[in-house]
Amino acid sequence: MDFVKSLSIAASGLRAQAGRMRVLSENIANADSTAPAPGQDPYRRRVPTFRSELDRTLDARTVAMGPVRTDTSDFRVKNEPGHPMADAAGNVRYPNVNSLIEMTDMREAQRSYEANVNVIGATRRMIQRTLDILRA
């Protein structure tokens, strides 16, 4: 039964990190976008969160994506008078996304994902060895 618990916990980690990477990818894709029309707000950075869940059938704690929140920090402003989305002062508002931070978070999510894959692989090998011992 402990093998099933470890597989379930690692699988929940995979799902959570995959969701995190989707949100981070969206942030990176929109880092240099502008508002759809003059006077409107550009894309606002989204921040993934996690929550702990109890799997009652396995009596184990797992992780899941929590609500995706929006970052309320200020937009980046550049003075570009010729830009179609510039205001009367010639300023254009860009998303509050810092690509360096997003790429760093993406790397961390990727490593967490890989760690969960390694747990699943190790558990599979232990199950296989247990079966080999029982057959002998």
Count the residues in the chain: 136
Is 112 part of a structural domain of the chain? Answer: yes
Helical pair 99-135 and 2-29, crossing angle rounded to 10 deg: 160
Is 86 part of a structural domain of the chain? Answer: no
Note the pTM of the prediction, 2 decimals.
0.88
Is 87 part of a structural domain of the chain? Answer: no
Is 83 part of a structural domain of the chain? Answer: no
Asked if 6 and 119 touch (Cβ cutoff 8 Å), the reply is yes
**Residue 1, pLDDT above cutoff 80:** no
Is 65 part of a structural domain of the chain? Answer: yes
Distance CA 76, CA 129 (A): 56
The residue whose two tokens read 């296989």 is 128
Is 108 part of a structural domain of the chain? Answer: yes
Range of the domain at 113: 2-32+42-71+97-135
Is 128 part of a structural domain of the chain? Answer: yes
CA dihedral (90, 94, 99, 105) in degrees, to 10, reads 150
56-110 per-position pLDDT tens digit? 988 899 999 999 999 999 999 999 999 999 988 899 999 999 999 999 999 999 9
Q: How many domains does the chain have?
A: 1
Distance CA 83, CA 133 (A): 71
Q: How many CB atoms lie within 10 A of CB 73?
A: 11
Is 110 part of a structural domain of the chain? Answer: yes
